């Protein structure tokens, strides 16, 4: 029995998109630039507010410039106050940088 092409495509897409939460939105690490409490609050905003409209985007899927361009509109849509939006941005930028550093320094 063969599965219809659409079902196969959906299964492949589902398998490819199954990334762990630590890969998508890493927990605050000691090597991240910034105040750990502020970054943790930014991560909480990311996990709680961003999923109201869409699935989570991995912090390193967009460039820093693209995040800078899209975050203000999304923060407004999510009705974030300016402080929460700033914490969210701080977390995303710190997590992006941390992931880039750890991915380059990680051995085989």
Please state the domain count of the chain.
Answer: 1
State residue 83's pLDDT score: 98
Other Cβ atoms closer than 10 A to 52:
9
State residue 11's pLDDT score: 45
Q: Is the dihedral of CA 73, 74, 75, 80 positive or negative?
A: positive
Domain contains 6: no
* DSSP SS3 for 92: helix
Other Cβ atoms closer than 10 A to 34:
17
The reported pTM is 0.76
Domain contains 4: no
Domain contains 34: yes
Domain contains 5: no
State residue 18's pLDDT score: 52
Domain contains 41: yes
**What phi and psi, each to the nearest 5 degrees, are found at residue 60?**
-100, 10
Domain contains 10: no
Provide the residue range defining the domain that includes 64. 21-105
Domain contains 53: yes
* CATH (domain of 43): 1.10.760
State residue 66's pLDDT score: 96
For 68, the token pair is: 């800078």
Element (H, E) at 108: none
- Each residue's pLDDT expressed in tens, for the chain with a length of 108 residues: 455 555 544 443 444 345 688 888 899 988 899 999 999 999 999 999 888 888 888 999 999 999 999 999 999 999 999 999 999 999 999 999 999 988 765 544
Domain contains 43: yes
């Amino acid at each position: 029995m063969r599965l219809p092409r659409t079902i196969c495509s959906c299964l492949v897409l589902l398998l490819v998109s199954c990334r762990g939460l630590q890969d998508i939105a890493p927990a605050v690490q000691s090597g991240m630039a910034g105040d750990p409490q502020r970054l943790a609050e930014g991560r909480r905003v990311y996990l709680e507010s961003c999923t109201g409209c869409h699935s989570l985007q991995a912090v390193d899927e967009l460039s820093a410039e693209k995040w800078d361009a899209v975050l203000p509109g999304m923060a407004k849509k999510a009705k974030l106050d300016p402080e929460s939006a700033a914490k969210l941005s701080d977390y995303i930028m710190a997590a992006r940088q941390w992931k880039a550093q750890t991915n380059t320094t990680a051995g085989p």
